[in-house]
Structures are given as structure tokens and as C-alpha cells.
Structure 1
Amino acid sequence: MATPTVELRVFTEPQQGASYDDLLRVAQAAERAGFGAFFRSDHYLAMNSDGLPGPTDAWITLAGIARETSTIRLGTLVTSATFRYPGPLAISVAQVDAMSGGRVDFGLGAGWFEEEHKAYGIPFPSLGERFDKLEESLAVITGLWETPSGETFSHDGKYYPIVDSPALPKPVQSPRPPILIGGGGKKRTPALAVKYADEFNIPFASLADTDAQFGRVRDAASTAGRDPSSLIYSTALVLCCGRTEEEIARRAGVIGREVPELRENGLAGSPAELVDKIGRYSELGAERVYLQMLDLSDIDHLELVASEVIPQL
């Protein structure tokens, strides 16, 4: 059985085809239903679909949702460091944190989808350079946020040198919003998580791979002198829940997936099956599960999970 500490969060992929209004409706439904957070991806190009009506910007979207919700936390899984300079990004996220009354969780990653960079004229350097830029972005963003008011921040960086920044505005959350870092990288990802993150996430991974990656992060924390339990560990899994086999199959069909594959690789089946599988991830240390909701028109799906899964966690 799952432990009482597992929090369910809603995770959307709007580049696959969603307007701001679609996202707002899901976020408000998730808030009413008692989910812990509403998250969205940060992509500019659809994958294997036409993506109509076209992409929405992650932080503009979350700013709007921040003003139309009151309790649910808001975040990205994850913002791409290739899309934005860290100084302006720190301003944007701090502003959304203020607009939400301090409800932002900030996920940041290196970026990986080369085609979307080509489609919108965004440079796409090598993997090593992307990780170098991610690390420096984290140093700049946390440095700006954590600089005491009235002092300035400078950073002698290779990519993003900062000179005498007033380091404003400050986020509402002090000293900064929680930072999420995730992925399956075996060395640099755990090291960056240990240095900068409050939460480590591994998405769409098997129980065995999740266990191994959580172990690498815990080992990296111990090596760095950080208490491994000071990090929150989480996973993300595609959601396909139904009360009957027919309902499960219908929801799988809408998102173009097969039920046996979803049961193996996602969070699929009856509410009881979901509780059981969440429990197995919980036994590995997962304290949060991000439910990848691919059909954003299916509010009943969220309400089913809220009424029949959340109470058992």
C-alpha cells in the first residue's frame, strides 16, 4: 500500500494541442479536486501531432493561471534553459511567484528537443554545452534570488557574466521558490540536483530505473555532505484510469496508446490498480507523482482520480 505521504500533481503537455483556456480549465478543475499542483511542459513544437491551435508559452500561461487560482501550486516540468537567458527568466519566475502569492515550483532542465529549436530559431548546442549552460543558469538564477535586498549580485561566468545586478525583483517565497531538477543522467544530473534542487524527478521510468536513479541522487548527496532525505523524490507517469475495462480502453484510445503497454509503462487501470502501483513507487521513496494528463478535455478523468485514488493515499 502507498504511504500517506504521496501527493498527486497534474502534469500537462500543451504543445500537443491546447489553448490557454484549455489549460485554465484543467488547472481550476485540479484545484477544486484537491490535487497538489498544476504543472505544464515547456515546449514550442508538438510531437507526433499537429498541435493545433499551436504552442503556448509556459511562464505567460502560468502567470495567467496564477491570477485565476488561489491555492494550487504551479510549475514547469521542466523549463528549458536553452529558451531563455537566466537573468530575464529569474525576473519572470519571480513575478509569477508574486502573482500567485508564492505558489511557484521552478523546474529547469538542459533542453533536448532539437526540432523545436530549429523551428523557432533557437540555438541548440552540444549536450555538454547545454549542461554547462544549465549549471551556470542555476548559479545565476539562485544567486539573483538569494542576494539580500539592497545588495548587488555579480557572476564571473563563461556564458552569462553578471555585473552589479540589483538582483530584483525578489520572489515571494524566501529565499526562493522550490527548484526541481530531473532526468536520467547518471552523473551531472544527480550532482546538479544535490547542489541546487529541492526536488528530484525522474519521468516515465520503470520501477527498476527509478530505484537506480534515486540511489544515484542519494549517493551524490551523501558524497557532497547533504542529507539525502532533504530532497523530495518524485516521478511522472502517463495517466489512464477507468472504473471499467471499457472506460480504460476508451481513454487509452483517445491518446493513441494500447492498454497493456500503459499498464506496463504508465499509471493505468482501475483506481485500485493505480493505488497499488503508486504504492510501489512510494516504497522506492517517491513522495510525489505527476500524472501526465494527455486528454485535456476529459475533466471527468481528474475527478475520478480525485474521488477514488487520492483518498486511499
Structure 2
Amino acid sequence: MSDYGHPLAFGAFLTPGNAEPGRVVGLAMLAEQVGFDLVTFQDHPYQPAFLDTWTLMSFVAARTGTVRLAANVTNLPLRPPAVLARAVASLDLLSSGRVELGLGAGAFWEAIEAMGGRRLSPGQGVRALAEAIDVIRQVWDVDARGGVRVDGEFHRVVGAKRGPAPAHDVGIWLGAYKPRMLALTGRRADGWLPSLGYLQPGDLGRGNTIIDDAAREAGREPADVRRLLNVTGRFAPVGRGPLHGPAEQWAEELADLALSDGVGTFILGSDDPEDLRRFAAEVAPAVRELVAGERAAGAAAAVTPATPEADRARATPGGAGARATDAARPPAGAAPLAVVPTPDDGVRRSAIRLWDEATRPTGPAPDPARTYSPHDQAGAQHLVDVHDGLRAELTRLYDLVEQVGAGLVDAGTARSHINTMTIRQNKWTLGTYCESYCRVVTTHHTLEDRGIFPHLRRGDDRLAPVLDRLEQEHHAIHDVLERVDRALVAFVSVADGMAELRAAVDLLSDTLLSHLAYEERELVEPIARLGLN
């Protein structure tokens, strides 16, 4: 069992096909909109049916604002490491620190040779990769004295000037399967990035052992190496095999890989928009919840000594260690609520006011002495995280409007992008979202009988006025979204359509940001106290 405790991340693995160049760009933008942390692309420079991956990544970086980007993995034999280092650093600077570097030793050697590359044996490929990592890290290390110097068997750089440095510490992730590559990963890399389809049962555990041993020998901690995994599968109403079944099955299997094999990043290989949406909306939140719950339970067990004497004392009424305060003792790991709602900055762009904020009801005051378990706090934090994703989508919406105004994107394309956003799909019934969330986390509850608002009403009837007001505001926001859509339709036929479109988006911004802040202010503590289901 290996859980390195890495925060979970979720990515997409897209095919850079050039038959419809805009399609892969649109998928990358969709991945950002639905909440992926990372978008990756195959890198096969010898494949004429593909776009060049690094050119594509530059274009995608300009069309996105938050998602990280990486090749999965870079074909090193056709990309000189000194030049690659500067390309990575340049794109990282231009994208405000959103680039990571996946590296491979090479494959498909006939195609590589046909493009002018040098054929290498497996052993040579590993040595060449090790030298390339030296070159890349030296180019990025602008604080070191002198030029870059690697006089290697395969790569020779003698005195090249250093720089530029990337905007952040770019992770170097190796696509490794064999012992020598795995050992190199442990010694020198920041991540291990295999594909599940190329692994046999037990390979993840065996690979972890080699990486961990090599890391320790190099004076590193095993947890210094993030474990990433490319996964593929099919969604289906019933389970038909590994990663072939309903979203809750996917969540359970990926959570097991996180807890048993230390995988911290799952990258879905699919070019299907619906798969991307479902993975982000149903699978990723459920995996996070399952893993957080198991980690919290493990932490609680670690601080509670399990001895026969202690067990007997706890089991015996009035026995040693049984105190009157035991029933009131908070669970292990409990702490004051640390989830911080994202505040409303009070900026208003529109002259229209859909509601009077001063008339909003408030719920019961929290008990200042109450503590909350890590599981409780994770549920409350999830609400803030979902809302922060919606806030990010609002920024993206403004960007789309400006692109429409500049003629870079037509109104029809903008409507298509907006209709894939969570803010559009949600239809402003948070209960519906949370019904889906609860369904994949707690499989024995059904979509029809479980939602966050009904649950909170049952748990604390003092919340009823707040929940009624929130539901009213949900409907109002849905109407504002319809107004944005109508403005996009009118844009092509109205003389001053851009003014109307900007006004509609300004109204959406005002109402959305005000509503989200109110909802968090009133519901973060009740969710932590009462749970999501």
C-alpha cells in the first residue's frame, strides 16, 4: 500500500489531429471550462496526421487561462534538449506558469530515423535522457555561475548561456516502464507518467518500489516524485469490467489506485466531449471525496493507539479510561472550521439590481466552540471549490465576449462554448448538482431522493428562509443567462449588439458573484455540520 499524500489532480489526454485543427483546441478549452487541472497532448513529430504538439500547446495556452499544459510525453530524440528547455521556459513565462514537461526516451525508431533522428538502444535511450535532464535543468538554473556544460555521450553543450528561467518550478515527468527508466525517475525526475493500458497487474507496485529505492539512494523522499497515470475506459449503465461502467465504479477504482498505488494525477485519454464532461463533473469530485475520507480515517487511527488494554477500558462501563466526557469528546482530527468563503468584492458593473441584498435572511449563528472533522471540512470546502470554478468560468465568459467584439470568434462559436460551461449546464439549481455529487459518492442513495437543499432543510429547519431565498436567486440567474444568450443571437443583426452583449454579461457578473458569496456565507458551516447526504 503506497499513498504518498499528493493532492489529487485530473487531466485530459487529447489527440492533436490536424484534419479539424480547431477541434482539439476546442476540447482543450472545454477541459478548462469543466474543471480539469491539466490538458496533455501526444507528441509524435513524425506523424503527418498530427499537429506539432509544441505549436499546438502555444496556441492553446493563448486560448486558456488556468489549465496546465504538457506533452504526454515529449519525443526527446527529435527535440534537442537545450532548445526544448528554452521552449518550455518561454511558454511557461507566456502562460503565467502553466507548463509541465513530460519526457520520453523515444519509441517508433524507424519513424524517428526517417525524420533525421538517431536510433538508440534501450540502454542508450536511458543514458541520453539522463543527459538531457542535466542540460534542461542547467539551462533553467540562471543563478548558477558559468554557462551550460554537459559533455555527454549523446548530448554535448559547452558553454551555452543559461536562461530563461521558467515562471514556476516546471515538473519533469518521465514516461517510464522498465527498471532503468524507473530508477532514473526516482533519482532525477519530479513525476512518473505511465499509461495504465501498458501495465500488467502489479506493475504499479513494482514500479513504485524501484522509484522509491532510487529516490532514497539519491537522498530524496519517495513523495518527491508525483505518480501520474493515463487512463482510458468507457462509461456504461452497468459494470462490464475495469473502468467500464457507471461513474461511481470509475470513482471507486481510481480512488483505490490513489490509496493503494499512490496515483495523484489521473489523465483521461478521450476525445469525446461527453466523456470529458462526465469525468470532470462526476468522477473527479467523487474520487476526491473517497480519498479524503480514507485519508482522514487513517489519520484518526494513527493518533488513536490500538492496544488490548485500551480497547477493554473503552468497552467496559466505568472502566479505566472511561470518563463522563468521552461521549462529548470530538472525533480525532477535529478542529475549528477553517473553510473560508470567497468574499464578494462589492464591485458592480450594471445599473440593474435584480434583488435587494439587504433583505437577504441569515441562518443560525455557528457555535464558536464546535469542531469539525477533516471529512466535514472537505464537504464544506467542496462548495467553495465548485463556486471558484464558476467564478473562473465567468472570467472566461468575459474573454469570449471580447473575442467576439474583436472578430476573433463568431457569435455562434461563442454560444457553443458558453452552452458547455458549468454555469449553463447547472441551470442554477445547486440541489441538482449536489444530487449528482451525492450519487457518485454514496451509491445507495438515488438521484430522486437526495439533494443538498432538502437535506439541509431536514437537518436544521432554521435554514428554511435562507434556502428559500437561494432558490429564488437560482431562478433569477437562470433568466440572466437566457438574456446573455439572446444578446449573442441579436449581436449579428443589431447595430450596437456589442453594447447589449456587454450589458448582459455585466448583469450576470453582478448577480452571480453576489449570489455565490451569499450562498457560501450561509451554507459553508451548515454543510460542515450536517454533511452533504
- TM-score, normalised by the number of residues in structure 2: 0.50
| Structure 1 residue corresponding to 2:266, chosen from 283, 289, 297 | 289
Alpha-carbon contact 1:20-1:61 (below 8 Å) kept: no
Report the equivalent of 1:79: 74
User: CA 1:132 to 1:68, structure 2 compared with 1: closer, same or farther past 3 Å?
Assistant: same
| Structure 1 residue corresponding to 2:189, chosen from 184, 197, 208 | 197
1:163-174 alignment to 2 at 5 Å? 163-173=158-168
Alpha-carbon contact 1:137-1:160 (below 8 Å) kept: yes
Q: Give the % identical residues.
A: 27
CA distance in 2 between partners of 1:78 and 1:20 (Å) = 20
Report the equivalent of 1:9: 11
Report the equivalent of 1:236: 230
User: CA 1:18 to 1:198, structure 2 compared with 1: closer, same or farther past 3 Å?
Assistant: farther
Which structure has the higher relative contact order (CA within 8 Å, separation 6+)? 1
CA distance in 2 between partners of 1:241 and 1:18 (Å) = 26
Q: What count of residue pairs does the alignment treat as equivalent? A: 281
CA distance in 1 between partners of 2:140 and 2:88 (Å) = 10
User: CA 1:201 to 1:164, structure 2 compared with 1: closer, same or farther past 3 Å?
Assistant: same
**More strand by percentage:** 1
Q: Which moved more, 1:198-207 or 1:133-142?
A: 198-207
- How far the C-alpha of 1:206 sits from its partner, in A, is 4.3
Alpha-carbon contact 2:142-2:164 (below 8 Å) kept: no
| Structure 1 residue corresponding to 2:126, chosen from 111, 118, 131 | 131
CA distance in 1 between partners of 2:269 and 2:115 (Å) = 25
User: CA 1:70 to 1:150, structure 2 compared with 1: closer, same or farther past 3 Å?
Assistant: farther
Residues 1:302 and 2:304 aligned together: no
CA distance in 1 between partners of 2:146 and 2:61 (Å) = 29
CA distance in 1 between partners of 2:141 and 2:267 (Å) = 28
1:254-292 deviation per Cα after TM superposition (whole angstroms, max 9, x unaligned) = xxxxx95xx34xx33210110011012112211111111
Larger Rg: 2
1:194-235 deviation per Cα after TM superposition (whole angstroms, max 9, x unaligned) = 232111122222452111111211121122221111221121
Which amino acid is 2:32 matched to? Answer: E
User: CA 1:136 to 1:150, structure 2 compared with 1: closer, same or farther past 3 Å?
Assistant: closer
CA RMSD of aligned residues (A): 2.3
Which amino acid is 2:24 matched to? Answer: L
| Structure 2 residue corresponding to 1:183, chosen from 149, 169, 176 | 176
Report the equivalent of 1:37: 38
Give the match's secondary structure for 1:183: coil
CA distance in 2 between partners of 1:55 and 1:147 (Å) = 34
Q: Which moved more, 1:278-287 or 1:195-204?
A: 195-204
CA distance in 2 between partners of 1:6 and 1:269 (Å) = 22
Which amino acid is 2:9 matched to? Answer: E
CA distance in 1 between partners of 2:87 and 2:20 (Å) = 21
Report the equivalent of 1:279: 255
Report the equivalent of 1:50: none
Give the match's secondary structure for 2:56: helix
Which amino acid is 1:126 matched to? Answer: S
Residue ranges of structure 1 left out of the alignment (5+ in a row): 47-52, 246-258
1:140-185 deviation per Cα after TM superposition (whole angstroms, max 9, x unaligned) = 0111111327852222223222222211222111xx4111113211
| Structure 2 residue corresponding to 1:69, chosen from 64, 71, 88 | 64
Alpha-carbon contact 1:268-1:274 (below 8 Å) kept: yes
Alpha-carbon contact 1:9-1:37 (below 8 Å) kept: yes
Residues 1:96 and 2:91 aligned together: yes
CA distance in 2 between partners of 1:213 and 1:79 (Å) = 21
CA distance in 1 between partners of 2:212 and 2:121 (Å) = 28
Report the equivalent of 1:250: none
Give the match's secondary structure for 2:194: strand
Which amino acid is 1:114 matched to? Answer: W
Which runs of 4 or more aligned residues in structure 1 lie more than 4 Å from their structure 2 counterparts after TM superposition? none
Alpha-carbon contact 1:6-1:288 (below 8 Å) kept: yes
Give the match's secondary structure for 1:309: helix
1:64-105 deviation per Cα after TM superposition (whole angstroms, max 9, x unaligned) = 111110000000111111011111111111111122111011
- How far the C-alpha of 1:110 sits from its partner, in A, is 0.4
- TM-score, normalised by the number of residues in structure 1: 0.82
Report the equivalent of 2:29: 28
Which amino acid is 2:175 matched to? Answer: G
CA distance in 2 between partners of 1:82 and 1:203 (Å) = 20
Report the equivalent of 2:357: none
Residues 1:212 and 2:206 aligned together: yes
Which amino acid is 1:40 matched to? Answer: F
CA distance in 2 between partners of 1:117 and 1:4 (Å) = 36
CA distance in 1 between partners of 2:107 and 2:77 (Å) = 9
Residue ranges of structure 2 left out of the alignment (5+ in a row): 289-533
CA distance in 1 between partners of 2:89 and 2:61 (Å) = 12
Give the match's secondary structure for 1:123: coil
CA distance in 2 between partners of 1:4 and 1:275 (Å) = 17
CA distance in 1 between partners of 2:78 and 2:116 (Å) = 10
Give the match's secondary structure for 1:14: coil
